Amino acid sequence: MDESQEDTILQVPSAPGPSTPLTDSYTYHSPVPTAEGPYILGVDEAGRGPVLGPLVYGVAYCPAAYRDQLEELGFADSKTLTPAIRSNLLETLRSDPDNIGWSVRVVSPQAISSGMMRRPAVNLNRQSQDATVMLIKDVLDKGIQLSEVYVDALGTTSTYKAYLSSLFPGIEFTVESKADFKYKIVGAASVAAKVTRDACLEDWTFEESEYTPPGIELGSGYPSDPKTQAWLKTGLDPIFGFPKVVRFSWTTVKILLEKEGHAVQWIDDGQASLIKAFETAQGLDKDRCGLTRELGIRSIAAL
């Protein structure tokens, strides 16, 4: 294989690519297949557990009449395949655009963290459901008639199945654990999601211009990965913390920040006398004293 052929195989159109920071969540769609429907569609994710990088949801879809051909293409749970095989299977996904379509929803680390840390929190299950619903809706909006949808899911699958069925009446949903192993169309979605996430992390470009990377690999992003552990320990700035490749809502990160980061002391912490003065002032003139009224200050928070 010459170098140009290798570059073609390794090219991942659904990833930002080198030198392009992943600053926001985004969706990528392949060309829309033209073969006659109805279609079957599979859903799977990559990157639910890592402390680094995005969560990627993928879908793949093809005509129901294409199911037998799909069985022969080698798709399976992406975690059981080597990186080289996954890359080749992504090329297989791209090789028959008349019959096979695929899409990914890339949820950025900062979007994951901000959702989980807001009040009320948008937990990872809800973010996952939102990504799945968005992808299915996008495929339908492109004019694809879906008859069956297969979803790889954790937890109470019957509840999730009922939820999806209520949103998309007329589609037969199969929601199961290990669906990427049981159904080839889910295996194809698994490959799309996994290859996209790996490319995002391997080519990660830091958007923080002032941040100096530690010069070691990010690893897989999973907390158990020794490379990721080493990067987290080396990449922490005790004042500014971590760059946005990190999911700040993860316990692993919270513990590191508490242990290695510099504590912040707010200037009004413990100023009981100032608080008491305002409480006294409120008693002097119903709401506030003349000085606070003149300055337009209604509470201690205004300072």
Q: Which residues are annotated as a binding site?
A: 44-45, 152
Q: What's the token pair of residue 104? A: 């990914």
Sheet with 101-107: strands ordered across: 26-29, 101-107, 55-63, 39-46, 146-152, 172-176
259-263 contact pairs (CB < 8 A, 24+): 260/233, 260/236, 261/236, 262/238
- What SS3 class is residue 237? strand
Cβ–Cβ contacts within 10 Å for residue 114, how many?
A: 13
Binding residues for a divalent metal cation: 44-45, 152
Distance between CA atoms of residues 247 and 26, nearest Å: 17
Contact 244, 207 (CB under 8 A): yes
Residue 146 pairs in a beta bridge with 39
Cβ(68)–Cβ(211) below 8 Å: no
